[in-house]
Amino acid sequence: MTNHHSQIDASLVKIRNLSFARGPHKIFDGIDLDIQRGKVTAIMGPSGTGKTTLLRLIGGQLRPDTGTVEVDGEAVPRLGHRQLYQLRKRMGMLFQNGALLTDINAFDNVAFPLREHTRLSERLIRTLVLMKLEAVGLRGARDLMPSELSGGMSRRVALARAVVMDPMIMMYDEPFTGQDPISMGVLVRLIRSLNDAMGLSSIIVSHDIQETAAIADYIYLLSGGKVVAEGTTDDLYASESEWAQQFLQGEPDGPVPFHYPARDFTEDMLDLPAGGAN
């Protein structure tokens, strides 16, 4: 492969000049992002900055108002239903609620996508499911029902299910929310080790700074519809950007104000008409 060619192929997901609004509320205002093959890329920022919306744009559930979203060379918004379905089969997704099917055990939860989308024999399915459960350390829990699993375990079963089809890309939507410190540490290590062992490309949407920064190869900080800072973890910690510093240090006030815009407090309390007492 020539060097010129490998540069083109380094980005699995390419987003250019992406704008997206819900009514008058502009969620993205001309952003550029690259998700590199084989790497863990984090999308971070204050809540309400559209990080989950970004995953939906990449998965084709939403279409951009302007700009382009390309996954593995395909322009996602232009794909028809069938092509989109084929593309989505190559994407794994872990939602923050884990969303296991409650009436079947851990094994059947992980087997579900294989039974749904492939014609593999049950014997082969068993091998694949046990391999994936082993990878998340839960082969011994295969017969447990979701109600018998701890929160951390059910998220790991959901992770095994998300990677059972060997996706090319894994998307994690707030994967650490609501986890105790031990489960969180396990998940962090798993996301990194699965990414590297399976040759995945991973996108983590999160506001858990320490955990995400520990495993991300590259981080984008979003705020107010823009990419306000980007780089490796070290780049961002060394950055002059006040946005980056406020976010990484978890400061309550900075470029992202603590107070939502409001009229003057005294006026509000006295309920004077805006503009004073006249």
Lowest mean pLDDT across 104-113, 142-151, 166-175, 265-274: 265-274
Do 126 and 108 meet the contact criterion of CB atoms below 8 Å apart? no
Both tokens of residue 272?
């004077």
User: Strand order in 66-71's β-sheet?
Assistant: 25-36, 11-22, 66-71, 74-75
Q: Is the pLDDT of residue 271 over 80?
A: no
Instruction: Report how far residue 229's alpha carbon sits from residue 171's, in angstroms, rounded to the nearest whole number.
Output: 21
% of the chain exceeding 90 in pLDDT: 59
Do 169 and 202 meet the contact criterion of CB atoms below 8 Å apart? yes
Residues 46-88: tens digit of each pLDDT: 776 688 899 999 999 999 999 999 999 999 999 999 999 999 9
Q: Mean pLDDT highest for which of 37-41, 178-182, 260-264?
A: 37-41
Q: Is the dihedral of CA 54, 44, 49, 185 positive or negative?
A: positive
| Widest Cα–Cα separation across the chain | 81
**What is the chain's mean pLDDT, rounded?**
86
Instruction: Report how far residue 141's alpha carbon sits from residue 56's, in angstroms, rounded to the nearest whole number.
Output: 32
- Coil, helix or strand for 48? coil
β strands within the chain, DSSP E: 11-22, 25-36, 40-44, 66-71, 74-75, 91-94, 169-173, 201-206, 218-223, 226-231
Spatial neighbors of 197 by CB under 8 A, at least 6 apart, are: 135
Residues 177-234: tens digit of each pLDDT: 888 888 889 999 999 999 999 999 999 998 888 889 889 999 999 888 999 889 998 8
Do 169 and 12 meet the contact criterion of CB atoms below 8 Å apart? yes
